[in-house]
Structure 1
Amino acid sequence: MNPTTSASLNKKSNLFVKTLFAFIFLFVFIAVLNIFQKQIKNSFYLLSSPVEKTFWRAGDSASVFIASLINAESIEKENEKLKSENQNLLIKIMALQEAERQRGAINEMLANDTQNEFSLVLAGASGFNSSQDIISINKGSADGIFENMPVISQQKVLFGRVLKVYENFSEVEMISSKNNVLNVKVQNSDSSVAPIYGVVRGNGSSGIFLDLVPVDSKINKDDVLVTSALEGIFPRDLLVGRVKETEKNDLKPFQTIKVEPFFNVQEADNLFVITDYKK
């Protein structure tokens, strides 16, 4: 046998042996997999489950997030619609409440003004300047309002007089203004006693006091002050205030009398302007 033929046979033999070993190894590997299939699968699960769970949760979260983004716009539109409907409803309720308050004010004024003494214009209070004791009302020259017209509540409590008039609103100077001087009478149930007159002055900040009452005049706590009409601006017998405290000094000709006003700015929703008062 020549050397070339011998080398060829050796190569074929080596290839056969390698192939045989490969088949044997593959057979053994498959057999092992079949025998230990459950154990291997379990081990793989233990190793891979945390990663799988993370991706699964992330997938759920992403799905929820995407769904929420899709629904967010429609929910926002629905919320805006509900908010708008609630605001419209509140406006209607407020309008009904205001109309009811105005009807109540008119009815109360009619009950108090049994003799129909004056022509009145109902006005709503729209602002208050506390530094100058001025109330703004929503009626002006277009409604027949002029300067110096008296302004009262439905209980015939005097608030003040019209100071400035604009087309659609007016400014009312309250009797508590420091510029105010108002002639009043101290009400007394005893008709045999001579009436006591004085002047109410404003001291700002919704405060008033009674002045020019002689020191020998008898003024009691809780005496009621009403307008006397002597100054020619306000009708008589409008309610002004109640005596709170008196101070006498024999060295002074007049008493110092603190007065609690009847008006209440916080409750001044509806006021009445007397448009036809003539002294």
Structure 2
Amino acid sequence: MTNRDISAPLSASAALPRRAAKAFAAALHRGLDIIYPPTCIACRAATQTHGTLCPACWGRIRFVERPYCEQLGTPFQRDLGPGIISPEAIADPPMYARARMVALFQDGPARQLVHRLKYGDRTDLARPMGLWMARAGRDILDDADLLVPVPMHWRRLFARQFNQAAALAAVVAKAANVPLAADVLQRAKSSPPQVGLTKAQRAENVQGSFVVPPEAKLRLEKRKIVLVDDVLTSGATANAAARVLLRHGAARVDVLIFARVVTPS
């Protein structure tokens, strides 16, 4: 009897447990679907699979697709050609190189998802939202060296027990196969909430908020960083964080967010 004759039945027998495990997992999922039917993650209407939107909510989200500003990621009304920069980016260039987002932050499902993840203890939303972010940011993730979530100050983290940026970044890191570095950027001061502040006030509010620990400096040198957060409003937080990362040797900082506030021009 040859080695091939011996290995064939061994390979077949080894495959049996794997097939049995897959069959058991499929049966378990079907059973759970009966006990906990899949529903829309925004409005709770019935859906075919877990972690998705119903057709109505899907249609109400304004997803951001090309054409958009190459730097800010904000959508254009018409295609102006590849690599076009918006007047806003030219007039007030951000510290980061490129921003990518899933959707615009408007009333409806996009706002509901962000608020439920951030304030409603709906940590289960991090996975579908993070997977959408990984797809939306594919071009900036392809050559990224590190994913860095926007950190919370320890007091706010203690009160909330949850950093939504870190949860989203963990999902993106796994989906895009990019290392997660949640400890290279820290929040040095607890700034007042940004809600209701002007753009200038927001920038002043976060000034000096971020630091890079001494032990993390070598990990940033010549690295291409993708900064991850849930929402970008004025860009003050992203600019402040990007400035610190670049100052400590990062080669480039891009920004990946779930939604962005865009005011009509």
Q: TM-score normalized by structure 1?
A: 0.24
Structure of greater relative contact order (alpha carbons < 8 Å, 6+ residues apart): 2
Query: Between Structure 1 and Structure 2, which shows a larger proportion of strand residues?
Result: 1
TM-score (norm 2): 0.25
